[in-house]
Amino acid sequence: MPTLHGGYARPTWGTRSFSPDLFVGDWPPPKTITVVDKLTETTEAAAVTIFNGTLHLESYTESEVVYIAYAEEHDVKITDFSENNTLITVFTTYCGASYLNLTLDSTLASSSPIVTYAVTGESMLIDILSDCAAFFSHAFYISGSTLYLISLANDNNTSTLDEFEFFMGSEYVAPIPYSIFKASTRHLYGTYAYGEEYEADPVCSTNTTQIDSALTQIKTNMEKDFYRFKVIPEAGYIPEICDKVTVTNNSLQDDTTTVMNVTGYMVDVINDEIIIEGIGSST
């Protein structure tokens, strides 16, 4: 996600490196390859698609062939955006066939945020929607032909991990201290009397009550601890954004239980691990 209080959980895929032996009979390597990656720890029928896109040739040498991965992009542009409606209604409109052409799942979204926001000129629609979601502490991700809009106050799936299901070297990071949170002319003091100022931008509302409520949610999320765990694939956990994950770690100074919501993840095929990141608290 672009912020710890939400937005579009945009997939990024980096590069792929292959042995030249893979291209025997097909040399030089093709410029593009269509790829569908699936992940499963049980049966093939249970496999989940984690990448559907194109590999574009970057370079090759005597020892390796390198491709850059490009996932399917939702690159719809819009000229002038003006809305005064609930967040769910805004997403319903722009998931429609005339725009993103996606099915909206707003089961875990909040019905209360009202977007009052305008953008002039040509912009990427997905970026505008990301800004609107983030201002109201919502995240969204796209899986297949469905866009999932979720309030960070709600849990997606629920999972538990113990010390046998993740690698050593997990990270526990305290939040950056913010002394004040700002949005337009409104402000909210942070828990700390010292530290940085945080400004929510753009401000996707003109209603002071809505802005104050949004700032309260932003403060709540920004003041949570941040975590990164390297999950063993054999644990069978395939993450989704906003999953609630309870992690028990008995390798620290004292036994520690962490409850976090996933804000991002990466499948590392080379090192055989799934890295999950999120915000929450520990006891």
Q: What pLDDT score was predicted for residue 126? A: 96
Q: What pLDDT score was predicted for residue 236? A: 79
For range 239-268, the mean pLDDT: 92
Q: Name the band, by pLDDT with cuts 50, 70 and 90, for residue 180.
A: very high
The DSSP bridge partners found for residue 280 are: 225, 260
Mean pLDDT (the chain, rounded): 92
The distance of Cα 273 from the centroid of its chain, to the nearest Å, equals 18
pLDDT in tens, 203-212: 999 999 999 9
Q: What pLDDT score was predicted for residue 168? A: 82
Sheet of 186-189: strand order equals 186-189, 178-183, 196-199
Q: What percent of the chain has pLDDT over 90?
A: 75
Q: Name the band, by pLDDT with cuts 50, 70 and 90, for residue 41.
A: low
| 3-state SS assignment for residue 17 | strand
Q: What pLDDT score was predicted for residue 45? A: 78
Mean pLDDT is lowest, of 121-135, 138-152, 202-216, 264-278, for 264-278
pLDDT in tens, 64-111: 999 998 877 788 999 999 999 999 999 999 999 999 999 999 999 999
Mean pLDDT is lowest, of 24-38, 131-145, 239-253, 258-272, for 258-272
- Is residue 35 over pLDDT 70? yes
Radius of gyration of the chain (CA): 21
Written in H, E and C, the secondary structure of 86-155 is EHHHHHHHHCCCCCCCCEEEEEECCCCCEEEEEEEEEEEHHHHHHHHHHHCCEEEEEECCEEEEEECCCC
- Give the amino acid at 132: C
Q: What pLDDT score was predicted for residue 197? A: 96
Distances (CA, A) of 4 to 7, 38, 196, 274: 9, 28, 16, 20
Q: Name the band, by pLDDT with cuts 50, 70 and 90, for residue 161.
A: very high
Q: What pLDDT score was predicted for residue 264? A: 92
Give the torsion through C-alpha atoms of 258, 260, 265, 267, to 10 deg: 40
Q: What percent of the chain has pLDDT over 70?
A: 99
Mean pLDDT is lowest, of 85-99, 111-125, 152-166, for 152-166
42 vs 97, residue with greater confidence: 97
Q: What pLDDT score was predicted for residue 129? A: 98
On whether the CB atoms of residues 49 and 37 are closer than 8 A, the answer is yes
- Is residue 118 over pLDDT 80? yes
DSSP 71: E
Q: What pLDDT score was predicted for residue 174? A: 95
Mean pLDDT is lowest, of 11-15, 200-204, 236-240, for 11-15
Q: What pLDDT score was predicted for residue 44? A: 78
